[in-house]
């Protein structure tokens, strides 16, 4: 069974109706790492629906959380908003300064970072019910559970200290009031009688916070189980930090019982990291955004990134060769007939598990739920080659028709070529796949050739002029041009790369040249031969 089906089966033992929840704090730009949580939740919800369960998927946006610091992408004016809730402060403008005009129109810091992520989710086929946490506090959704938490503060303190192994401050209280400036920082609780929490702030001001009106919030370790309670969450995936011994899930599991509810079925996942750069971080700027990634590859490729890896396995991501390999893996998986494969009674248990995992991953990779993936018969590598050697889309389609790969381009393939051209023009396209055939001889590259390699150029030009213009014939002609002169085939390859690309080595030449104009290639080789004579 696919890992999402395993989770769905566990839920089925606990009832027929479920709410799967994920959430995030919109403190900065959302990145590919954030997709793991929400896609994990989406895939569990899909698998549960496939199993006949009544499932709703919700996404909680923690706009009630405070701004922790002035991040690198923010201007110094944001110093005044440290400790203020993200849903109550202005969004940054293009220069990182507070955009007061848009704030007056209702556009907040949380909105600024959430909207692009929701657009990416729409493209990727994820459509949860959005829950704004600040609005939930202000509309009284937390009221009853916050009252229980404050009434039973000693029990909750004991649970947190015992499970986490850390001692809370003497003046700790299970409600964080907003101070006289609207900040959650530096406020000391001085008394409580529901619904009022009395406080003294760092500015020397005394005041009261009304729990029923959401004038503050519960600390994180209580806020999370309270959300499980009032939303009715029965399953939630979360990062490994929350699932660690003594972490927030361990304390939340006990606190939610004090609040009168049950903890949801947990699923801990590992991080997605950037290759060679470690875990992604919005605040540190170490990110690739989902919208940015969707400009390069189709959404089903990003879904496959999460679907094919068990949640407890870390994912290393980059927009270079790893993404090329992932895209080509998608095409291979899409071309398989899983029904026929599983009908083979000679499969070993291990082989059957591998087939079921692959089939499940492709089912979860589909953007539209229940839609079967269709292979395009064109690998990303080949499409990248064509996009670089053909100046127009029509020329790409003509080449694919000639090769028998397509009759007419599908909309999916048209979209894929558009993204491929954007990828090639971006900073992310892998250097090892960059194709650059020279227009004229590169004198310095030719100067690096030895006498034997230079002598091959005339033979190489003649061989390519006479051969059939396809990858097989070209691939044979290059080494043969050196063998004809009783030289090593290596001399033919070195001469070809120097003359045609100005390099010592590069990507496979034969399939590249097959997509180029034969006459122009031969003319370039002859010009190189004349240059050295």
Q: How many CB atoms lie within 10 A of CB 191?
A: 11
Distance between the two ends of the chain, CA-based, in angstroms?
67
Alpha-carbon 99 to chain mean position: 28
Tell me, what's the pLDDT at 281? 57
pLDDT over threshold 60, residue 95: yes
Cα atoms found within 13 Å of the Cα of residue 221, Cβ hemisphere only: 24
* Residue 28, both tokens: 């900065």
At residue 149's C-alpha, the angle toward residues 19 and 69, to 5°, is 80
Alpha-carbon dihedral sign for residues 443, 445, 449, 454: negative
Q: Are 269 and 239 in contact (CB under 8 A)?
A: yes
* Rg (the chain; Cα; Å): 30
Instruction: Give the chain's mean pLDDT.
Output: 93
**pLDDT one-digit tens code per residue, 11-50:** 999 999 999 999 999 999 888 888 999 999 999 999 999 9
Q: Are 171 and 199 in contact (CB under 8 A)?
A: no
Tell me, what's the pLDDT at 322? 85
* DSSP class per residue in 79-138: GGGBTBBGGGSBPB-TTSSB-HHHHHTT-BHHHHHHHHHHHHHHHTT--PEEEEHHHHHH
Percent pLDDT > 90 in the chain is 84
Q: What is the DSSP letter of 406?
A: -
**What CA–CA distance (Å, rounded) separates 492 from 507?**
15
Question: Edge-to-edge strand order for the sheet containing 187-193?
Answer: 187-193, 196-201, 206-210
pLDDT band (50, 70, 90) for residue 277: low
**What CA–CA distance (Å, rounded) separates 107 from 100?**
9
| C-alpha distance from residue 441 to each of 280, 444, 497, 500 (Å) | 44, 9, 11, 8
What are all long-range contacts of 190-194, with beta carbons under 8 Å and residues at least 24 apart?
192/150, 194/147, 194/150, 194/151
| C-alpha distance from residue 492 to each of 207, 338, 453, 510, 530 (Å) | 84, 45, 7, 13, 17
Q: Are 286 and 278 in contact (CB under 8 A)?
A: yes
**pLDDT one-digit tens code per residue, 488-529:** 999 999 999 999 999 988 888 999 999 999 999 999 999 999
Q: What is the pTM for the complete model shown?
A: 0.90
277 CB contacts (<8 Å, ≥6 apart)?
286
């Amino acid at each position: 069974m696919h890992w999402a089906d395993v989770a769905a089966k566990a839920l089925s033992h606990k009832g027929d109706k479920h709410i799967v929840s994920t959430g995030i704090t919109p403190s900065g730009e959302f990145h590919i790492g954030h997709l793991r949580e929400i896609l994990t939740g989406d895939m569990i919800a899909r698998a549960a629906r496939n199993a006949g369960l009544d499932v709703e998927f919700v996404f909680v946006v923690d706009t009630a959380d405070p701004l922790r610091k002035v991040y690198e992408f923010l201007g110094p004016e944001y110093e005044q908003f440290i400790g203020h809730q993200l849903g109550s402060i202005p969004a940054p403008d293009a220069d990182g300064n507070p955009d007061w005009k848009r704030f007056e129109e209702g556009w907040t810091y949380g909105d600024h970072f959430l909207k692009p992520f929701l657009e990416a989710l729409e493209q990727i086929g994820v459509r949860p019910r959005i829950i704004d946490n600040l609005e939930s506090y202000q509309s009284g959704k937390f009221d009853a559970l916050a009252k229980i938490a404050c009434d039973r503060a000693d029990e909750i303190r004991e649970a947190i200290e015992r499970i986490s192994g850390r001692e809370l401050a003497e003046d700790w209280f299970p409600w964080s009031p907003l101070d006289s400036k609207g900040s959650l920082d530096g406020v000391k609780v001085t008394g409580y009688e529901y619904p009022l929490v009395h406080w003294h702030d760092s500015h020397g001001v005394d005041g009261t916070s009304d729990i029923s009106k959401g004038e503050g919030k519960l600390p994180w370790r209580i806020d999370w189980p309270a959300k499980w309670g009032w939303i009715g969450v029965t399953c939630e995936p979360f990062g490994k930090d929350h699932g660690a011994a003594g972490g927030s899930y361990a304390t939340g599991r006990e606190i939610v019982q004090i609040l009168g509810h049950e903890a949801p079925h947990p699923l801990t996942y590992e991080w997605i990291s950037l290759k060679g750069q470690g875990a992604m971080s919005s605040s540190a700027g170490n990110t690739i955004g989902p919208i940015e990634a969707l400009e390069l590859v189709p959404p089903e490729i990003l879904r496959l990134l999460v679907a094919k890896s068990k949640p407890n396995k870390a994912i290393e991501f980059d927009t270079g060769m790893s993404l090329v390999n992932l895209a080509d893996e998608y095409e291979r998986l899409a071309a398989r007939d899983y029904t026929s494969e599983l009908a083979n009674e000679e499969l070993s248990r291990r082989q059957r598990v591998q087939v079921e995992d692959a089939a499940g991953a492709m089912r979860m990779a589909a953007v539209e739920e229940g839609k079967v993936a269709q292979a395009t018969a064109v690998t990303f590598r080949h499409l990248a080659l064509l996009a670089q050697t053909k100046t127009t889309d029509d020329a790409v389609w003509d080449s694919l028709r000639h090769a028998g790969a397509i009759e007419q381009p599908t909309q999916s393939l048209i979209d894929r070529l558009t993204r491929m051209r954007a990828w090639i023009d971006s900073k992310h396209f892998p250097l090892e796949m960059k194709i650059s055939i020279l227009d004229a001889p590169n004198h310095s590259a030719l100067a690096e050739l030895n006498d034997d390699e230079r002598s091959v150029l005339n033979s190489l030009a003649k061989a390519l002029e006479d051969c059939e213009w396809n990858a097989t014939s070209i691939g044979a002609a290059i080494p043969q041009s050196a063998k004809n002169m009783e030289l090593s085939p290596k001399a033919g390859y070195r001469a070809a790369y120097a003359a045609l690309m100005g390099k010592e080595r590069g990507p496979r030449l034969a399939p590249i040249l097959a997509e180029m104009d034969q006459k122009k290639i031969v003319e370039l080789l002859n010009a190189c031969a004349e240059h050295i004579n």
